[in-house]
Amino acid sequence: MAAGAGAAFGLPLVSQNLLASPAANTTRKRVIFFMQNQGFDPKTCIPEGMDRSQSLAKATLPEPIQALEPYKERLHIINGLHGLHTSPSHSAFFGALGGYRGGDGVPPSAATIDYELSKVLPPTLLPHLCIGMDSIENMTTKPTIATLSASGAGQPIFMYSDPNQLYQMLYGGISTGDIRRQHEARSSVLTQIEQLAAAKGNSLPTGERQRYGQFVQGFKDVNGLRDRLDTVADHLRKFAPPVDERYTNPAHETDWHDVLLDLGISALTSGITNTLTIGSGRGEIFGAWKGLGVEQQGHNLGHMEQAGNPIWIKIRQYNSRMLVRIMEALESVPEGSGTMMDHTLIVYTSNNADKQHTNGANWPVMLLGNFDGAFKTGCFTQLDGKRPINALYSTLLRASGVPCDHFNMNEKLARKFDTNTGPLKELLV
């Protein structure tokens, strides 16, 4: 329960009301990471015949990402980054967003880029939200799981996979009927656990007391979040998505995928969070899309060629439609002299480079949006394969106002795996 409490949000949380407009000299920026498992074959995103950096204006996007065709001027396709040092194989797990060696069951060795960005972007009530999409069986039996994001070494951030739990956490305080009663009952239980745990911890030896204190802090954090969300109830009512039978009686796992995305979008548009991480397949080798007519699931999907494969075309098209839903939602909300989308960046890639059983030599990425004018858009960039995904993460930090020569790389590692320092200048305006 401690894991599903404070760790689920990448806490600590800030206490003041942070839904108001940012200061005059601050732009309300936000970043969304969409991580698809089983790899991202570059042939599913690079227009046919395009083998050098150039504009996308006259190109036709491949069938798997065809839904993004109307948004080409906001798209930047990047090929030629690497993640050799992450040893991805089936998945790089925390290493995909951390830029370090990962593995199944291996704890994170440092904070991941999504968490680091949540700290430097204008603060919000909930700095970082993670949602994970999988088969109904996996999402039900493991409603929270940590495989992609971390707030530090040995400090995983858990993602939500049961939309009922996430809805109750975010909007239980403004709900009625059963949802409200469950919210109040759970809040009462968590408060009692916090009090009992704190009292019991006083009798422990000093060393154990410190570790136990982190457990207690998780309950304090999640209880504090509930209280803070209650104080902005009137504001949240404008953004809470409607609850329908897809929550309690999903026909397919994609019903839960869809409502989880709705909740993630609402957390962004309401201003609750500035960083959203979406794990399609939850950073592992599983995942299911029976709602799309795809009967195969899990590990077997990774053994299929993606380019030209009707199964992977369906999955990638589904992802692309999700990206469009995010953009349309953010575009509909005025912000400053434009819209929320004008100040947003979406990073779409895989936690497994280009394919399952990969060595990470090529790690394709798509960016959507320009992050308040920081990133070039409407183009394809072909890199030489000598700079790691860490360089992309350094670029994100630089665009957020934080200088970074090598993200999560010491000098020895950088000499071996990176031929330059600092951001990828090819990506920035």
Give me the pLDDT at residue 197, please.
56
- Asked if residue 339 belongs to a domain, the reply is yes
Give the pLDDT score at 27.
Answer: 75
Checking if the pLDDT of 193 tops 70, the result is no
In a domain, 250, yes or no: yes
* Arithmetic mean of pLDDT, 75-95: 96
> With 50 as the cut, is the pLDDT of residue 51 above it?
yes
Contact between 132 and 283 (Cβ < 8 Å): yes
In tens, the pLDDT along 114-123 reads: 999 999 999 9
pLDDT for the residue 208: 60
Q: Mind listing the pLDDT tens digit for each residue in 302-361?
A: 999 999 999 999 999 999 999 999 999 999 999 999 999 999 999 999 999 999 999 999
pLDDT-above-70 percentage for the chain: 82
Q: How far is CA 23 from CA 123, 236, 336, in A?
A: 11, 21, 11
Residue 396 lies in a domain: yes
The answer to whether position 188 is within a domain reads: no
Judge whether 195 lies within some domain: no
Question: What is the number of structural domains in the chain?
Answer: 1
**Joined tokens for residue 123:** 């603060």
pLDDT of residue 231: 77
- Model pLDDT, residue 429: 97
Looking at 56-65, 116-125, 183-192, which range is the least confident one? 183-192
**Helix segments in 130-176, DSSP class H:** 136-141, 163-171
Query: Is the residue at 215 inside a domain?
Result: no
Of residues 67 and 225, the one with the higher pLDDT is 67
- Phi–psi pair at 375, nearest 5 degrees: -110, 145
Render pLDDT for 132-160 as a digit per residue (tens, 0 to 9): 999 999 999 999 999 999 999 999 999 99
Q: Is 20 left (phi over 0), alpha (psi -120 to 50) or beta?
A: beta
Q: Write down the pLDDT at residue 212.
A: 53
State the pLDDT at residue 26.
62
Given a cut of 80, whether residue 294 has pLDDT beyond it is yes
Give the residue numbers spanning the domain of 168: 27-172+240-417
The answer to whether residue 11 sits within a structural domain is no
Look up the CATH number of the domain holding residue 395.
3.40.720
Contacts of 199 (CB under 8 A, 6+ apart): none
pLDDT, average across residues 56-78: 98
Residue 427's identity, in one-letter code, is L
Q: Is 299 within a domain?
A: yes
pLDDT of 296 above 60 = yes
Q: What is the mean pLDDT of the chain?
A: 88
pLDDT for 251 beyond 90: yes
pTM of the model: 0.89
Q: Measuring CA to CA, which residue among 186, 166, 184 is closest to residue 176?
A: 184
Residue 198 confidence class, pLDDT cut points 50, 70, 90: low
Sequence-distant (6+) residues with CB within 8 A of 389 are 81, 82, 83, 86, 96, 99, 363, 365
Quick one: which of 66, 69, 98 has its CA closest to 85?
98
